[in-house]
Structure 1
Amino acid sequence: MKKAYREDYNQLVPILYPMDSVLSQSVKPQLLDAIKKASIVAEKHQNSKWLDNSYIILGKSRLYLGEWADGLEALRYVYANGKDESDKNDALILLMRAYIIKKDFSNALGVAEYLSGQAMKKASIKNFYLTKAYLHQQNGEYLTSVAILEETFPLLEKSPETARIHFAAAQMYDKMGQYALANKHYKSVSRNKPGYDLGFYSSMNSLQNRVFLNPKTDLSSIGFNKMLRDRKNEDLKDRIYFTMGLLAEHRKEIPKALDYLQKAVASGGKNQVQKAYTYLQLARINYESLERFDLSKAYYDSALTVLPSEVPEYRLVSDRKKALDAFVTQFNIVYAEDSLQKLAQLNPAALDNRIDQIIEEKERARIEQEKKAKADLAKAKNTGSPIALAPSGPIGIGNERRWELYDAALVNQGKIEFRRTWGNRVLEDNWRRSTKQAQVIAANNPVAVDSVAKSEPVEEVMTKGSPAWMALHETLKKNIPLTEAQLLDSRKRKEDALYNLGKIYRFDLKEPVPSVATFKRLLNEFPNTQYKDEIYYLLYLTLEDTSPDKLTWRSKLLNEFPNSTYARLVSDKAAESREAAGANNPLKAYEDAYMLYSKGEFNKALEDVEKNLPAYKGSIMEDKFALLRVFMIGKVRGKEAYTQAIGEFIRLYPNSIYLPRLKEMQELGTLSAGKR
C-alpha cells in the first residue's frame, strides 16, 4: 500500500499515511485473511493472552477496508474490556488516528488527553507522539505539531519513513515562515535514505528557502541550472522551472516569472498534478498582477482539466473559475461600451480615421504574423528541425513554442477570442472569405471596435478603399452608438454590467476593495441608477467598521430610501433585533411566522418576519425568511410591491436554492401571490 501511495509534494505531506479503502483493494485478500484468523481467537479463545491483540488487528483491518463502524467498535472493545494496559493504549492510539482521518478532531483530542496521563512503552510513546503531531497538523495547528515532532525525532531510527517525517516538519516550518528551521529538517531528509523524489523535492524547497532568506541571491548561482542539466531530473524539469517562477514572482520580476512558468508547462513532465499547479500560478499572476482576466480564466479552465477533484484546492479553483466566467463577461461589456461611447464622441472625420486606423493595425499584425510563420517554415526546412507550429502567444516561449492543441490553456484562450470576434459559428467551408466578413461581424456584434485588431485574418490582403475594407468599415461604424437611443441603450448595458461586477467582486471573488471602487464608480457615472438603494446597502455592508464612510452610506440609505427593504435591514430596530438574536432560535422564529401565515394573519406574520430578518443576516435561514416575506407582501401590499419584492430577492440572494422558483414567478408574471 505504501508503494502504491503517491505523494503530492505541492501539499503538506501527512505525518501518517491515510487509511484509504481504495489503496487497500490491492491487499484486500490479505486483510480479509487477517480478519478471519483474528476472529478465531475472538470466537474460540476468550481466555487467550492474545485476545486484545486480535481485536486490534480486527479493528485496523476493518478501518483499512473502509468499514469504519466495525473498526471503531473493535477498538473500543479493547479499551473497555482489555486486560493488558499496553494493548489498551495501542488500541486508543489507533482509535485516535481513525478519528483524525474522519476529521473528528474533538474526539481525537479527548483520546489524546487521556493517553497523556498513561504510562506507555517506548514503541507506544513513539506512535502516540506521531499520531498527536498528525492530529495537530491536520487541524492546522502547525506550531504544536512541530513541537511534538521535535520531541519525537530522538525516538526514530534512520529510515525513509523518518526522512518523510522530517520533510513534513520542514513544510510546516515553511508555512510559518521559519525558513532556517525548515532547511535544518530538509537537510535531515538527505541523511535518512530518502527515495529519489523525496530527496529531489527536499533539495528544491531548500534552495527556495535560501532565496527567501537572502532575497539578493542570484537564481542562476544556487543550483537550479545544475539540476536542470542532470539527466535524472528530465521528468522533473517542470517542478524546477515552477520553483524558479515562484521565486521570480517573490522578487517582483513578473516577466521572468511568467517565462519560467511557461517553460514548466512546455517541459511536459509526466506529473499532471504539477502542471495543474503551474496553470494555477499563471492564472493568479495574470489576474492579480497583470489584470489579463480572459487569460487568467483560460488558465483556470486548464487547471481544472488536470487537477484531481480530491485535492483541497479543487473546490476553490472551481468556484473561482465560475466567478471569473461571469466576471469576464461583465468586464468585457464595460470595456466595450466604454470604447464605443468614446468613439461616439469623435467628430465624423476623426471617427472615420480611427476606424481606418483599427483596420490598418489589424492588417499590419496579420502580415507580420504570416511573414514570421513563413520564416519559421523556411528555417525548419533548411535545418531539418521540427516545425514550430504555434504562433507566439501567451504560452509561447521563444524558440520553444508548442503546437497550441497540446496546451489546454491556449485552446481555451483561442475559443474565447474566436467567440468574442466571430460569435458562435456553424462549421462550414470558406467561412473567412472577405465577402462574408461584413455580415459575419454585423450578425455577431463584436464586444468592442478595438477587438477587431485581434480577430482572425481574412484570406486576401485588404487595401484602403477596397470593397472589403469599406464593408468592414461600415459594419464597425454601425456598432457605435451615434444616436440618442443607441447611446441610452449603451449606457444601460454599462450600468448593469458595473452593478454585476461590483456584486461579483463582493460575493464571488471576495474582494471588498475593488467591489467598493466599482460601486462608487457606478454611482459617480450613473447618479440616478435604479440600483442606488441596494448599492448604498452593499457599500455599508462591505466597508470595514473602522471606515469613516461606513455610517455615511447608512445615513444616505435611511434618508433617501427610508421605506426600502435595505433601510429596514440597517435601521436601529434591526440593530436591536440583531443584538437580541443571540439566544433566539431562527427555526422557531420562522415556524411561528409561518404559522401566522397559514392562519391568514398576514399583517402580523409580515411584521414578525421583517423584524426577525435582520437578526439572522448571514445565517442559513436568511433566504428562507426573505422568501416568506415575498409571499406575504403579495397578500398585504399588492401586485406592484410583490413584483418589487421578487426583484429584491433575486438581487440579494443570487445563490439561494429558492431562486429558480422566484425567477419562474417573475417570468410568468404570477399574480397568485403566496402560493408555495
Structure 2
Amino acid sequence: MLGTVLLATACTSQKNTFVNRLYHNTTAKYNAYFLALEKIREVEENIIAEYEEDYSQPLPVFYPIDSAVIEANNERLQQARDLASKAIDWHRISKWVDPSYYLLGKIDYYQGKFDEAQNTFKYLNVNSSQDEVRHLSLIGLLRSFIDLRKFDDAVYVMDYLSKESAVSSENRFLLYQTLAYYYESKGEVDMVAPALFRALEYAEERKEISRIHFILGQLYQQAGLDAFAYEYYQKSISGSPSYERTFFASLYSQQVAELSKSKDLRRVRGYYDDLYKDRKNIEFRDVILYEKAIFEHRQDEKEESIRLLTLAAKEPTDNRRQKGYIYEKLADIYLKDFNDFLTTKYYLDSALKQFREGDRNYQALAARKEVFDQYALNFELIQKNDSLISLSRLTFEEQEAYVDEFLRKEEERLLREAEIQRNKKTPSIFDNLLASAGGGSGTSFYWNNPTAMSQGALEFNRVWGGRPLTDNWRRSSRGFQETSNAEMPEDLGEGENESENQSISSAQAALNLPDRESLLATIPKDKAAVDRLIDEMEDAYFNLGKLLFFDLKEAERSIFYLEMLVRDYPMTVKKPEAYYTLYLAKRELGQNYTLYADLLNAEFPESQYTKSVNNPESVSGTQANFESSQNYAAAYKLYQKNQYAASKDLLRSTLENYPLTKNTDRLLMLDIMNTGKMGEMEEYRTKLENYLLNASDPALINLARKMLDGIGGGNTMDDSLAEAGQQIEEEAVRAENEPNAEPEGPLEEQIYKENKSQTHVFILAMEPRVANESKNLTADLEKFHTSNFPNDRLRTGTIALDRENTIVIISPFSNAEKALLYRTQFLNSFNTENLPEDSKISSFVISIENFQQLNRRKDLDEYRAFFRKSYNE
C-alpha cells in the first residue's frame, strides 16, 4: 500500500522532492531520452552507411549529410522528436530536460531547419545549468554556422568556447573536429591537420581514430611530405577499418614509401600486377589499373597509360566516382599530350555522367566541359556541312553509288566487330574511340568520322550499358551479369552452325546500319538548302577561331579558321572582330600582325577593334570595366538633362581610352541615341546599321532594329528613343553602383590570390639586428593586445624568414577586415624601444594561403606590392 502511494506521488512532474526527482530522472533517461538518442544514432549510422567514400580525394572531416538519406529517415527522426518532447513534457523536473532539448536541436539541424536548430542551441547556452549540454549546443551552433558559410559568427562561437573551462574530453574531440571542418570549408587546407591533431588527443573510438589517421596521410601526401604520409597511412590500418580503407591505405603507403621513388620499373609494375591478380582485390581492379596508368604516364608511356585506363573503365564496379576519374584522366591525356579537343570532349562527357552535382569536382568539371562542347558543336558542324555540300555537287546516280558503297563498307565493319565481340567477355565502345584519336583539324566526310560516330556509341553505352550484339537487347529482364559478361560458346561446330552464326551476324549488322533513304535525304537538293549550310559554316568558323584563341590558347589553329572565314566569306559581318583576333594571334606568334591592323584601319576605321589596335596603351581588365561603367552612368545623366553634346564628348573619350570592355555595346548605343536627339539623321542611320553588324548584346541588337525601323516616322522615332532610354536606364544605375577594383593580371601570373574572407595574420618584418635590439618587443606587444584587443586571444610568434629578415607574426584574424583594423591601431598607438618607424609602416596583413607562398618565395617586396594593390594600402 505504501509503495503504491509513493509511486503515485512520484508520478507528478511538478512536485520537486527527492523521490520525484529520482523517479523522473530514471524514467526520462532510460525511456524517452534513451530511445530518442538511439533513433538519432540510427540515422547517423545510415548517413555513414549511405555515403560513398572517395579515397582518391582527401576524405571530408564529417560525413556529408545527404538530403535523400534524411528524407528516407524522416520517420525515425519524427519518432525521436516525439520521444524527446515526451521527456520534456512528462519529466519536467528531471535533469534530462536540457539534453532532450539538445536532441530536438539536433533533429532540426539534420532536417535542414537551421533557424530552429540555432534558436534551440542559443537557448540552451543561455539557460542550461549543465555545462555538458551548453558545450554540445555551442558546438552544434558552430557547425551550423560553418554549413551556412557564416564564418564571422563561427569565429565568435569558437572564441567563446575557447574561454570555457571544464569542457569534457568527448566534447573537446567534437570541438576540434568541428574546427578542422571550419578550415576545410574555408579552403585553408594547411590548417586542417593541426586541428585534427588536437582532435586525436581526445579521440576514443578506434574507427574515428583510424579515419582521422587516413585523412592526415592524404593531407601529407598531397603536401609532398611522404615520410609523414606513410606513418599515418600505416596508423590508419589499425582500428578495424573497412577492407576498402585498408586497401587504399596499403596502396598509398606503398606509393609514398617506395613506388614513387623506385628506379626498378619492373618491380613497380610487378607490384601492381600482383595486386591485380589477388582475388581479394577484384572489386578494386579499376583502381589498381588506374594507379598503374598514372605510374606509366609519369614514365612518359602514353600509349600504355591509355591502354590501362581503357581496361580500368571496362572493369565492373559500383564505384562511379572512380569511373569518373578514369574518364577524366583520359580526357587530360588526349588534351595535354595529343591536343585532341574532340576526344577530350567525349571523355569529359563520360566523366561528368559519373559524378553527381554534390560531388566536389562536379562544378569545375562542368565548367571545363562547356568549352569543349562548343568546340565539338562547331567543328562537327563544319565537317558535316562540308561533306554534304560536296555530295550535293554530284549527280543523283553518283550520290546513290556513294551511299551504297558507304553502306557496304559499314556492313563489313559491323560484321568484323560482331566477330570480335563473339570472343570478348565485355564489349566496349572504347576501341572505336581510341582508334579515332589524333584527329581534330581539317575536314572529312561526316559518316566516315569515327570520333563523331563514337559519340553515339558513348550515349548508347551510358543508357544501355555494354551489351553484346544480340536479339531483343532492350529487354529489361536481361540481367546485368548476362548482358556484360556473357561469353559465346567455344565449341561451335562448322557447317550448319557456322552458316547460322554468319546469318545471325549479318542480320545484326543490318539492324545497326543507317537507312539508305534517310542518308540520301540528308543531302541538300537545291541552292537554298546549300546556302543554309554555308551560312551555318560561317558562324562556325568564327566561333572556332575565337574559341581556339581565347579559351584553348591555340593561336595557330585559331588563325587557320579565321583566315578561312575572311577568305571564303568576304562580306561577313564578323570581319572586324575576326581581324582583331587575327591581329592578337599573329602578334602572340611573332608574325606579321600589322597586316590586320592596317586592314582594320582601311575597312573599319570607326570600329572599336580599330581603336583598340591603334591605342595599345589603353587600360584593360577590371579597371577599364569600372571606369567605363562610371563614365557610362555619367553620360546617361547628361543625356537625361538634354545635354547631348556633352554626353557625346564623354562617350567618345571613354571609347578612345577603353575601346574594348564589357560596356562597349551600351556606350555605343548611348552615343547613337545622342546622335538621334541632335537631329543628325544620316549619321544616326549609318551608326545604327554598323551597330547591327558588330554588336553582340541580343537585347541591344533588338533595340537597334526597332530604332532603325522608326527612322522617318516622326513620333515613331521619338517612341523608339524613349524605349531605348527606359531600357538602358537600369543599366546606367547598375553601372554607377559597380564596386571599384584594380585591374587583374593574367591568371598564370598571379602568385598571390585575393581571398579577404580567409583567416589572416599580421606581419612585422625587420632585420635580425633590429629584432635583437628590440628586446622588449614581445612583452610590449602583449601589453598592447591586453589594452586594445583583450577578448581576441591574439598570439605572437617570431621566425627567421631568411638571413636578411626576421618576422613577427600576430594571429589569428578571421578575415582581412579585422586584420586591417589591427594594423591601423598598431600604426596609431603601438610604441616600443628600438623599433624603426619604417619597420612599422612596412608591416602588412596576409592570408594563411598567401603566407605559405611568401614563406616559400622569401620575397617581401613582391608581396608588399600585392598588398598595396589588393588592400588599398
The TM tier, using the shorter chain, reads 0.5 to 0.7
Per-residue CA deviations over 1:576-635 (Å, capped at 9, x if unaligned) read 9976997x996x87766555555655555555566678999999x858955864873674
Contact 2:143 2:178 (C-alpha < 8 Å) held by counterparts: yes
Report the AA paired with residue 307 of structure 1: F
Query: Following TM superposition, by how much is the alpha carbon of 1:175 offset from its aligned partner in structure 2, in angstroms?
Result: 3.0
- In structure 2, how many angstroms separate the alpha carbons of the residues matched to 1:109 and 1:557? 60
1:72 maps onto 2:153 in alignment: no
**Cα 1:246–1:199 shift into 2, 3 Å:** same
Give the alignment partner of residue 252 of structure 1, picking from 283, 288, 300.
300
Equivalent residue number for residue 348 of structure 1: none
Equivalent residue number for residue 180 of structure 1: 227
Query: Following TM superposition, by how much is the alpha carbon of 1:21 offset from its aligned partner in structure 2, in angstroms?
Result: 3.6
- In structure 1, how many angstroms separate the alpha carbons of the residues matched to 2:239 and 2:658? 55
Give the alignment partner of residue 443 of structure 1, picking from 518, 524, 528.
524
- In structure 1, how many angstroms separate the alpha carbons of the residues matched to 2:597 and 2:435? 53
Query: Following TM superposition, by how much is the alpha carbon of 1:67 offset from its aligned partner in structure 2, in angstroms?
Result: 0.8
Query: Following TM superposition, by how much is the alpha carbon of 1:231 offset from its aligned partner in structure 2, in angstroms?
Result: 2.7
- In structure 2, how many angstroms separate the alpha carbons of the residues matched to 1:391 and 1:585? 51
Q: Gaps spanning 5+ residues in structure 1: where?
A: 341-357, 398-403, 413-426, 446-478, 480-485, 654-658
Report the AA paired with residue 443 of structure 1: P
Look up the SS of the partner of 1:99 in the other structure.
helix
Per-residue CA deviations over 1:170-192 (Å, capped at 9, x if unaligned) read 22233333333323222222112
Contact 1:626 1:649 (C-alpha < 8 Å) held by counterparts: no
Give the alignment partner of residue 358 of structure 2, picking from 300, 310, 326.
310
Query: Following TM superposition, by how much is the alpha carbon of 1:79 offset from its aligned partner in structure 2, in angstroms?
Result: 3.0
Give the alignment partner of residue 294 of structure 1, picking from 342, 348, 367.
342
1:321-400, aligned counterparts within 5 Å?
321-331=369-379, 369=413, 372=416, 376=420, 392-394=431-433
Per-residue CA deviations over 1:418-467 (Å, capped at 9, x if unaligned) read xxxxxxxxx9998666xx7996685399xxxxxxxxxxxxxxxxxxxxxx
Report the AA paired with residue 14 of structure 1: P
Give the alignment partner of residue 514 of structure 1, picking from 515, 536, 554.
554
1:107 maps onto 2:107 in alignment: no
- In structure 2, how many angstroms separate the alpha carbons of the residues matched to 1:596 and 1:89? 61
- In structure 1, how many angstroms separate the alpha carbons of the residues matched to 2:575 and 2:628? 33
Per-residue CA deviations over 1:22-57 (Å, capped at 9, x if unaligned) read 322343334334434444666788876555434322
Equivalent residue number for residue 368 of structure 2: 320
1:134-533, aligned counterparts within 5 Å?
134-157=181-204, 159-209=206-256, 210-214=258-262, 217-218=265-266, 221=269, 223-331=271-379, 369=413, 372=416, 376=420, 392-394=431-433, 408=458, 442-443=523-524, 497=540, 499-505=542-548, 510-511=551-552, 513-515=553-555, 518=558, 522=562
Look up the SS of the partner of 1:12 in the other structure.
coil
Equivalent residue number for residue 457 of structure 1: none
Query: Following TM superposition, by how much is the alpha carbon of 1:135 offset from its aligned partner in structure 2, in angstroms?
Result: 1.3
Contact 2:574 2:694 (C-alpha < 8 Å) held by counterparts: no
Q: Gaps spanning 5+ residues in structure 2: where?
A: 1-45, 389-401, 437-453, 463-509, 678-682, 711-716, 728-873
Look up the SS of the partner of 1:22 in the other structure.
helix
Give the alignment partner of residue 701 of structure 2, picking from 655, 662, 668.
662
Q: Which structure has the larger Rg?
A: 2
- In structure 2, how many angstroms separate the alpha carbons of the residues matched to 1:79 and 1:106? 19
- In structure 1, how many angstroms separate the alpha carbons of the residues matched to 2:221 and 2:703? 52
Contact 1:170 1:181 (C-alpha < 8 Å) held by counterparts: yes
Bigger mean CA offset, 67-76 vs 8-17: 8-17
Per-residue CA deviations over 1:273-316 (Å, capped at 9, x if unaligned) read 32233222222222222233332222223333333222233333
- In structure 2, how many angstroms separate the alpha carbons of the residues matched to 1:579 and 1:135? 34
Give the alignment partner of residue 108 of structure 2, picking from 62, 74, 94.
62
Bigger mean CA offset, 608-617 vs 120-129: 608-617
Per-residue CA deviations over 1:540-585 (Å, capped at 9, x if unaligned) read 99999x9999x99999899887743346679699749976997x99
Bigger mean CA offset, 233-242 vs 48-57: 48-57
- In structure 1, how many angstroms separate the alpha carbons of the residues matched to 2:573 and 2:665? 25
Bigger mean CA offset, 627-636 vs 189-198: 627-636
- In structure 2, how many angstroms separate the alpha carbons of the residues matched to 1:391 and 1:89? 56
**What is the TM-score normalised by the length of structure 2?**
0.54
Give the alignment partner of residue 140 of structure 2, picking from 78, 94, 100.
94
Report the AA paired with residue 320 of structure 1: R
Per-residue CA deviations over 1:83-137 (Å, capped at 9, x if unaligned) read 4445333222221211222233333233223333433332222211111111112
Equivalent residue number for residue 797 of structure 2: none
Contact 2:579 2:600 (C-alpha < 8 Å) held by counterparts: no
Contact 1:602 1:635 (C-alpha < 8 Å) held by counterparts: no
- In structure 2, how many angstroms separate the alpha carbons of the residues matched to 1:618 and 1:102? 39
Contact 1:160 1:195 (C-alpha < 8 Å) held by counterparts: no
**Cα 1:55–1:271 shift into 2, 3 Å:** same
Contact 1:62 1:68 (C-alpha < 8 Å) held by counterparts: yes
**Cα 1:121–1:43 shift into 2, 3 Å:** same
1:117-128, aligned counterparts within 5 Å?
117-119=163-165, 120-128=167-175
1:589-628, aligned counterparts within 5 Å?
594=636, 596-597=638-639, 602-605=644-647, 622=663, 625=666
Look up the SS of the partner of 2:695 in the other structure.
helix
Bigger mean CA offset, 365-374 vs 592-601: 365-374
Contact 1:499 1:519 (C-alpha < 8 Å) held by counterparts: no
Query: Following TM superposition, by how much is the alpha carbon of 1:266 offset from its aligned partner in structure 2, in angstroms?
Result: 1.2
Contact 2:576 2:600 (C-alpha < 8 Å) held by counterparts: no
Per-residue CA deviations over 1:481-522 (Å, capped at 9, x if unaligned) read xxxxx9xx99x9988655423432465xx44x3258735984
Per-residue CA deviations over 1:205-241 (Å, capped at 9, x if unaligned) read 3344443344654475463223322333323322222
Report the AA paired with residue 99 of structure 1: F
Name the % identity. 24
Contact 2:292 2:308 (C-alpha < 8 Å) held by counterparts: yes
Contact 2:620 2:658 (C-alpha < 8 Å) held by counterparts: no
Report the AA paired with residue 156 of structure 2: G
1:27 maps onto 2:77 in alignment: no
- In structure 2, how many angstroms separate the alpha carbons of the residues matched to 1:133 and 1:300? 33
**What is the TM-score normalised by the length of structure 1?**
0.68
Query: Following TM superposition, by how much is the alpha carbon of 1:65 offset from its aligned partner in structure 2, in angstroms?
Result: 1.0
Report the AA paired with residue 171 of structure 1: Q
Query: Following TM superposition, by how much is the alpha carbon of 1:144 offset from its aligned partner in structure 2, in angstroms?
Result: 1.0
Contact 2:639 2:674 (C-alpha < 8 Å) held by counterparts: no
